[in-house]
Every structure is written in C-alpha cells, then in structure tokens.
Structure 1
Amino acid sequence: MLSNLKPQAPDKILMLIEEFKADTRQGKIDLGVGVYKNPEGVTPVMRAVKEAEKRIWDSQISKAYTGLAGEADYRNALAGMVLGSVPADRLASVASVGGTGAIRQALELARMANPDVTVYVSDPTWPNHLSIMKFMGVPYVEYRYFDGATRGVDFEGMKADIAKAKKGDLVLLHGCCHNPTGANLTLAQWEEVAAILEKSGAIPLIDLAYQGFGDGLEEDAAATRLLAGRLPEVLIAASCSKNFGIYRERTGILMALGDSTAARDLSQGAMAFLNRQNFSFPPDHGARIVSTILTDAGLTAEWKAELEEVRNTMLGLRTQLASELRDLSGSDRFDFIQHHRGMFSRLGATPEQVAKLKSDAAIYMVGDSRLNIAGLNSDTVPVLARAIIDAGI
C-alpha cells in the first residue's frame, strides 16, 4: 500500500531553511523563515512566559486531558484580547493546534454548514492557506490585493472581487500585518469591506496571526472588532505563536460569532466535534501559559511591555532600511517598507533578483521577494540595502 503513495512537493520555506543551514559563508542572512529574532539572532522566550511557566510548574498537579474545546479560562482570556470583551450570547470557541489548526477547523466548519462554500482569498496570501484548501478540495477564488507598482493595496480591485462572493461563501481576510506583503487596509477601508459583506451575506474568516506586531495590541484588533460588531456571522482564527513567542507550543483558537444563542450553541457543538475527529483534545501547555499571563495584571503588563519592545524593534528596522535605500538609490521608491507593518514586506523583486541576492550576498528570502524584517539587525540592514541595489531591484 505505502508504495502507492505519490511524492509530495517539499515546502519551499522549509527547503530554504535547509539551504541556509548548508551555506558555509560567513555573514549569511536569513530573511525567509517567519519567526521573530532579537538583534542577536535568537528567538527569545519572553519574560512573562518564563514566569508563567514557573507558576504552572509549581501549581499544576495533573496532566489529565483538558476539555474538548480547551479550558474556558484560556478561551475567554484570548477572546477578550481579540474582541475587547466576550459577547457570551454570540461566541463559540475552541482551542486549536496553532493558528494553522484554527484555519483548518474553520474550513471544516464552513463546509459542514455549506457543502457548496467557496473561499475568496487574497492574491497573494500565506501559501499554506492555498495548500490546505487544495488538499481539502475546498474551491477558492483569488481576489486582487497587492499592487506591484505601489507595493500597497489594490483596494478598488479588492472591493470589486470580494463583492462577487455569495451568501454562505467565506472571504479570508488578514486581520492585520498581511502575510506576505506587509500592506494593510486602513480602518476606513475596513468599513467599506464590512459594508460589502453586509450586502452580500458572505462571511469573513479573519486570520489574526500577528496581533501586537503592527500598530499595537488594540490597534491591530480594530478591524476584527469592527467586523464582529457589524456582521451577524464572523469566523476568527487567532494564533499565539508570534505575540507570545510560543511557536512550538502550537497555541491557537477558533472563534465563531453567530447571530443568536441557538447559532452559538450549534457552532460550539460542531467545533467540539471537529476537535474530537481531528486530534481529540487540544494541547494545553501553551494555552495555560497564555491564560496565566492574561488573567494576572502584573504578568499582563510585563508581557505587553515586551511585546511593545518587539514591535518597536521591527519599526526601527523598517525605518533604517527605508532610509538606507533612499540614500543609496537617490529615490523614495523603497519608502513602502517603512509604511508596511508586521514581520514581512514584499519587495516586488523578480525570482532572478532574489536568486542573485542569495548567490552573490548570501541573503535568503522567499522566491516571491517576501523578506522577514525581524531577521535583520542594525548591522545587517546596510548589507541588505547595498545588496538590493546591486541586484538591480
């Protein structure tokens, strides 16, 4: 039987990681993998996380299964962080295996509710969005999003395309810090998106993977809260990997907002059922870290302060890189880097130019020219800027 399996195409980002590891050149720069790194090149354990783990170690007396939906303390705390308050009469939620698991469960839920669902997804988007939908056999349509000329959002194109979604379809939206482009909607533009979805009856599926990495914890939740407040049904897949720095703990949540308590109860039962079918009980350690932090005022303050340090570090790197490129190019054509938000920016370089950065300067980024700003430090920014100009970007 197993000999009948077909070879699977390797993940391009994972391939890039292995290629980077094998490169023996001194001064190589990894801008491919999507993790935050401090100036020393380390993805650190946050101070509040360390303290939370100590408290869990001292107090935990059992490793018995948690509930199918995960612990209520975690789900309520994270819902409060994302939504500002917990609309108990509308909200169903389950802990998930990371944000990726929440996306998968959301697609499963949508297909249970509407076997004919089509998902509208931005062009471009996180590649795993498309990979999961292809594997599941869920139809999708790409909507215009990134303007290659301005490196901003093609908002008119986006509006025209998502307006074609029908009642019961999903429109997959990046709540903040768009991956892979770094180009984001304004709050006024989000209002227009909400109006389009109100008219069509299509349901937003919000992927919120980077809350706190863009303009601030509250600011990055503003679009999600706007849609949750205006629309009768909203799906939200949130991740704690980045903003709590607990990547390997696989800590996420799927939230479903319905238009009634009956819809809430149906959603809660269906999502718990899906958890049972896919992995039974969700992982708990990361969720317990998050709930320990968010239910303690002192730990919450410590975590928020460190999250701001992370965010401001990335903003500083963006400003420095844009400035270096402005000086070297004698133009403002790279100023979009300073205006983008989150970990990523898309340079708009060709695959050949990206390959030249790798071969000539040992600078690794994804082939579509997505670069991870958090892979830089103040010393490597000038190196990257010079290499970009030398590559003819």
Structure 2
Amino acid sequence: MFEHLNAQAQDKIMALMVEYREDPRDTKVDLGVGVYKDPTGNTPVMRAVKAAEQRLIDTETTKSYTALAGDPAFVNALSGLVLGDAVEADRLAGAAQPGGTGAIHQALELAKMANPDVTIWVSQPTWPNHLSIIKHLKLPMVEYSYFDNDTRAVDFGAMMSDLDGVKQGDVVILHGCCHNPTGANLNLEQWREVTELLGKKGALPLIDIAYQGFGDGLEADAAGVRHVASTLDEALIAASCSKNFGVYRERTGLLMAKTPDEKLKTVTQQNLTHLNRQNFSFPPDHGARVVQMILDDPTLRADWESELEDVRTTMLALRKQLAEALQARTGSDRFGFIAEHRGMFSRLGATPEQVNAMKEKHGIYMVGDSRMNIAGLNKDTVDILADAIVDAGV
C-alpha cells in the first residue's frame, strides 16, 4: 500500500542547513535556521537549565508517568510567566505539549472540535509550519495582510481591513511578540484595536508566543497577550520554551485556553486532556520539569532572567550594528527598520534572486523570502553581511 503515498516536499530551511554545512568557505554565515547562537556560533545550555537538570538528576526518584495534561506545577508556572494575573485560575485550562508546534496543532484540533466549520486566519507572511499544520488538518484558511514590504513595518490599516471579514467562530492566529518571519510587531494600542475587533466579530484569537523575553523583555513581550486574555471571554495561547529557555530538543510547550466560566473551563480541560491522549498520551516531562524548577526557585529564576536579558541585548546590539553598517555604506537610513524589529528575525525585503546572489557570491545563507536570523551574526560577521546586502543591490 505504500505505493499510494505521495512524495513530500523537503523543508526549505532543513535543505538550506545541508547546503550551508557543505559550503567549504570560512566566511560563510548561517542566517537560516531559527535557533539562538552565541558569538562563537554555539547554541549554549543556559546556566539555570544546567543547574536545574543537575538538581533533577540528584532528586528524581521515578520515571513513571505524570499526568495526561502534564505536571500541574509546570502548567501553573509557565501560565504565570505568560499571563501573569490576567486570567483567573478558575477560567484557565491548560495542558503541556511537545513544544510550541504541538501546542499549535492541539489548538487547531480543539478549534475544529468546537466548530467543525471553523476558518483559520493567518498573517501574510507567517511561520510556515502554521500553514503546514492547517493544511494537514484540512482546515479552510484565509490570509490577512500584515507586513508592508516597502516600509518593512506592520501594515496595520490593511490588516484591520482584512480582519473585518472574520466571522463568528473563526480562529485568528496572532504572533504574541517577535513576529516570525518579519520581526515587525504590533504595539499595545494596535493590540487593543485588534482585540476590540475580534470581540465584536465573535472570533477566537489563537496567540502563538514562542519568543517571550527576546524582544523588549519578559513583561513587555507578554503585554499584548495579557490584554487579549484579560479582555475577551475566550482565547487560546500556545507557548514555547524552546527559545527563551534554550531547551529546543526537549520539546517543551503549553496550550492554554481562557474560558468564559468555571463550568466551561472543566469541559475544555477535559478536551485538552483527551487530545493529548489521542495524539501522544503523556507529554514530555524532562524539559517541563526543568522549566518549572527554574520558574519556582527564586535563585534559578534570577539567573535565568539575567542570562535571557544578555541574549536579548546581544541581539539588539547586533541589529543596531548592522543598521549602522548599512547606513554608512549606502548613505541612507532605509535599513533602519532592522534596528526597530524585535526578536531573532527580520525580513530584509530582498528578492529571491538577490538572496541567491548573496549566497553564491558571499556565502550568506538566509531563507528565500529574505528572512534572516539576527542571532546567526556576531560582531565580526556583520560587515560581511552588510557588504553582501549592498553588493546584491537590496
């Protein structure tokens, strides 16, 4: 029966990684894969993670199952980090997931169970896996305007005009902060306007927050999410720990559902648990336990927040250095948006032909739509990238 299977397209970023590894040039620069790298090109294990893991090894007495929805201590700790006190406990359901990807997948399955006629709205552009999961689940999808390729900023007027077409029961995917792939974020006033529109339309926001702490800080990055969750009766929030805790391979995530009342919280929690059971039974626990230990221990948490702040400010410094290098080379401030964007990514605005030229001539590897991972730079490679951008005529 396997002869009836169709070949699947290779993931473009994974293919780019292979091509980069095979490039013999010493000056090559990897701006493709979405992982944080320190100035030496390493993706480090954070100090607090190391300490928590050692403590876990020393104290763990069993590898038995936890619970279908994950350890409640993890659910409480991570929901507290993301939402603060924006949602009362008796209105918040939650279940641990295998990473942010698992949380998005389960959120869309939950939405389909709640409304078989649901349509999913996604920003243009968005994280490619949003589109892939929606397609895999055979859900109708509509794209809404988000990014202005000329200004490299949010095209908020076009966004709101498009979202005026959402229907009651539709799901609108929003990026909580550090928009992937553009790096262009909504400000708080724009969050308020989007929230008001979704409330009037009766649409359900699904907020994907994968980079909390990478933009303007832990609290500021969560401000939009908290406003939505505190204002609307219903919301879904998918959180990932891959980036801000650096536990990529541990697959640590959480799906939260804000419900109108305690009764519906109970029903929603039952459905979250049911979905976990059908898809993978018990979620991974090691990364979740480590994250919970860090968040609940004042000393570990302080060290984690300090290192996370170093990561954030390092990326901001690289953004500023690149913007200044390009300004010096072009005599123009047209690349100033790089310093204004937040998180790991910026969309440069180059054509696929220009992206390919930078790769072939300068060894600069970025995704074909010109999304570049700022964290793939260091102070010595900024000039290499700036020269390549100017030489390609971006």
Q: Same fold (TM over 0.5)?
A: yes
Q: After the TM superposition, which residues 108-257 of structure 1 pair with which residues of structure 2 at under 5 Å, given as runs?
A: 108-257=109-258
Structure 2 residue 57 is matched with structure 1 residue 57: yes
Q: TM-score, normalised by structure 1?
A: 0.99
**1:90: Cα distance to partner?**
0.4
Inter-partner Cα distance in structure 2 for 1:192 and 1:4? 48
**1:89: Cα distance to partner?**
1.1
Q: TM-score, normalised by structure 2?
A: 0.99
Match of 2:340? 339
For the residue of structure 2 that corresponds to 1:112, the secondary structure is: helix
Equivalent AA in structure 1 for residue 116 of structure 2: P
**1:262: Cα distance to partner?**
1.1
**1:278: Cα distance to partner?**
0.3
For the residue of structure 1 that corresponds to 2:103, the secondary structure is: helix
Structure 2 residue 245 is matched with structure 1 residue 268: no
Inter-partner Cα distance in structure 2 for 1:5 and 1:201? 40
**1:27: Cα distance to partner?**
1.3
Equivalent AA in structure 2 for residue 48 of structure 1: A
* Per-residue CA distance 1:266-305 (angstroms, 9 max, x = gap): 1100010000000010000000000000010000000000
Inter-partner Cα distance in structure 1 for 2:90 and 2:293? 25
**1:164: Cα distance to partner?**
1.1
Inter-partner Cα distance in structure 1 for 2:69 and 2:185? 32
For the residue of structure 2 that corresponds to 1:56, the secondary structure is: helix
Inter-partner Cα distance in structure 2 for 1:154 and 1:100? 27
**1:177: Cα distance to partner?**
0.2
* Per-residue CA distance 1:71-96 (angstroms, 9 max, x = gap): 01000000100001362110000000
Equivalent AA in structure 2 for residue 195 of structure 1: E
**1:307: Cα distance to partner?**
0.2
Inter-partner Cα distance in structure 2 for 1:261 and 1:166? 26
Match of 1:89? 90
Structure 2 residue 374 is matched with structure 1 residue 373: yes
Structure 2 residue 313 is matched with structure 1 residue 312: yes
Match of 2:23? 23
**1:258: Cα distance to partner?**
0.4
Equivalent AA in structure 1 for residue 65 of structure 2: Y
Structure 2: state its 5+ residue gaps: none
For the residue of structure 1 that corresponds to 2:69, the secondary structure is: coil
Equivalent AA in structure 2 for residue 261 of structure 1: E
Equivalent AA in structure 2 for residue 72 of structure 1: P
Inter-partner Cα distance in structure 1 for 2:6 and 2:113? 28
Equivalent AA in structure 2 for residue 117 of structure 1: V
Match of 2:75? 75
**1:135: Cα distance to partner?**
1.1
Further displaced range: 82-91 or 240-249: 82-91
Inter-partner Cα distance in structure 2 for 1:167 and 1:91? 22
- Percent identity, please: 64
**1:337: Cα distance to partner?**
0.2
Inter-partner Cα distance in structure 2 for 1:211 and 1:163? 28
Inter-partner Cα distance in structure 1 for 2:17 and 2:264? 44
The CA RMSD measured in Å over matched residues stands at 0.6
Match of 2:99? 98
**1:5: Cα distance to partner?**
1.2
**1:26: Cα distance to partner?**
1.4
Match of 2:280? 279
Inter-partner Cα distance in structure 2 for 1:237 and 1:231? 16
* Per-residue CA distance 1:146-202 (angstroms, 9 max, x = gap): 001100001001001112111111000000000000001110111100110111010
* Per-residue CA distance 1:205-243 (angstroms, 9 max, x = gap): 000000000000000000000000110000000000000
For the residue of structure 2 that corresponds to 1:89, the secondary structure is: helix
Equivalent AA in structure 1 for residue 238 of structure 2: A
Inter-partner Cα distance in structure 1 for 2:264 and 2:169? 14
**1:4: Cα distance to partner?**
1.9
Match of 2:303? 302
**1:3: Cα distance to partner?**
2.1
Inter-partner Cα distance in structure 2 for 1:259 and 1:163? 23
Structure 1: state its 5+ residue gaps: none
